[in-house]
Amino acid sequence: MSTLKNDRYLRALLREPVDCTPVWLMRQAGRYLPEYKATRAQAGDFMSLCRNAELACEVTLQPLRRYDLDAAILFSDILTVPDAMGLGLSFGAGEGPKFARPIDSLSAVQNLPIPDPEVELQYVMNAVRTIRRELKGDVPLIGFSGSPWTLATYMVEGGSSKAFTKIKKMMYAEPQTLHLLLDKVAEAVILYLNAQIKAGAQSVMIFDTWGGVLAHRDYLDFSLQYMHKIVDGLIRENDGRKVPVTLFTKGGGLWLEQIANTGCDAVGLDWTVNLADAKAQVGHKVALQGNMDPSVLYASPERIEQEVRSILSDFGTGSGHVFNLGHGIHQDVPVESPKAFVDAIHHYSAPYHK
């Protein structure tokens, strides 16, 4: 077992005692950091940055040099998996992601290959190995993937969407086609996350950014069912340590009970959920991650501190809380704000762990 200098993130996910509440930020490596923009310019474009293990490692470590974060997250993207399935991913300047060959028929789904993560996605595994080496055991490394539903929205819509009309049309007009797609993507994600774990990821998180756009029963059938399949297929212990799994559905506050029942270790919460209510509902089964509105980072350090203290008091005493934002950090927040946020969490949470 390789030792960690700071393992409070892993301990909190397993609801083991900690000295203070751990924190990391969703999208902590990114455009709000001038040094990220410089490295990205050096790489040329976003996918070239993801494919270069040394540069991906560099941007992973950048936020850790500035802030006292308790975890690093692999620098990559959720859309690497559909890209490896042959859909042809590109990021046009200021346009967001685009697929050259979106999924539009049953035969397109049937013809989709399941990528070998050590071949088509080897660049991701190389990044994981490089980052682990450079972290030198300071903090744990988080691996991640998109949920099958969230990945399928991009694969069917061909890019970002607001109304999700193409995938919802498939869901209601040709549900078997969508189920086959989700099943294949879930299979690909299991292989991908297990490969990340074998390469050195010490916990994994599944981002279900778009689960919240589904109707109640559709969420259970088309999103949660496939995340459950992934949880069942994951390696849960590696190198003598448990590998905790976090599920995050944005807008998933209505389904906390069902998410917690998948057997995951932790549930990520967006800012619409009250942490005290969530803890009362599922805190005996899972740890909770979240959940400050990312827009609070536009406020003064005093206002950020105030919000941190309110959220800490909502969770109250004991382990089982990983502090985070309720969604990714915005690209135009002042670089001083995450410092006020992280330092306030460590400082004000200590009394809750006595």
Minimum separation from the CB atom of position 134 to ligand CP3 (A): 16
Among residues 15 and 322, whose Cβ is nearest to ligand CP3? 322
**Cis bond before residue 291 (omega within 30° of 0):** yes
> Rounded to an integer, what distance in angstroms lies between the CA atom of residue 110 and that of residue 122?
24
171: tokens are 């869901």
Among residues 44 and 137, whose Cβ is nearest to ligand CP3? 44
Q: Is 40 a catalytic residue?
A: yes
CA atoms within 13 A on the CB side of 256: 25
Identify the active-site residue in 9, 154, 192, 226. 154
Identify the active-site residue in 7, 70, 77, 265. 77
Is the four-CA dihedral 88, 125, 210, 150 of positive or negative sign? positive
Minimum separation from the CB atom of position 87 to ligand CP3 (A): 13
Among residues 15 and 273, whose Cβ is nearest to ligand CP3? 273
Identify the active-site residue in 27, 101, 241, 303. 27
Identify the active-site residue in 8, 15, 40, 132. 40
In sequence order, the 6+-apart residues with CB closer than 8 A to the CB of 308 are 292, 323, 341, 344, 345, 348
Minimum separation from the CB atom of position 235 to ligand CP3 (A): 20
Q: Is 303 a catalytic residue?
A: no
Query: C-alpha angle 8/338/3, rounded to 5°?
Result: 25
The 3-state DSSP class for residue 292 equals: strand
Minimum separation from the CB atom of position 329 to ligand CP3 (A): 8
Among residues 131 and 181, whose Cβ is nearest to ligand CP3? 131
Asked if residue 275 lies in contact with residue 315, where contact means CB atoms within 8 angstroms, the answer is: yes
In sequence order, the 6+-apart residues with CB closer than 8 A to the CB of 229 are 183, 186, 190
**Phi and psi of 114, rounded to 5°?**
-95, 115
Count the residues in the chain.
Answer: 354
- The C-alpha torsion from 34 through 36 and 41 to 45, rounded to 10°, is -140
Minimum separation from the CB atom of position 221 to ligand CP3 (A): 21
252 closest CA partner among 150, 171, 349: 150
Bridge partners of 249, per DSSP, are 208
Position closest to ligand CP3 via CB: 209
Bridge partners of 143, per DSSP, are 204
Asked if residue 21 lies in contact with residue 91, where contact means CB atoms within 8 angstroms, the answer is: no
Minimum separation from the CB atom of position 146 to ligand CP3 (A): 6
Among residues 34 and 96, whose Cβ is nearest to ligand CP3? 96
Binding site for ligand CP3 (CB under 6 A): 26-31, 40, 46, 73, 75, 77-79, 96-97, 144, 160, 207, 209, 328
Minimum separation from the CB atom of position 16 to ligand CP3 (A): 24
Among residues 115 and 338, whose Cβ is nearest to ligand CP3? 338
> Rounded to an integer, what distance in angstroms lies between the CA atom of residue 154 and that of residue 100?
11
Q: Is 101 a catalytic residue?
A: no
Among residues 207 and 305, whose Cβ is nearest to ligand CP3? 207
> Rounded to an integer, what distance in angstroms lies between the CA atom of residue 114 and that of residue 20?
42
Bridge partners of 246, per DSSP, are 205, 266
User: Which residues are catalytic, by number?
Assistant: 27, 31, 40, 77, 154
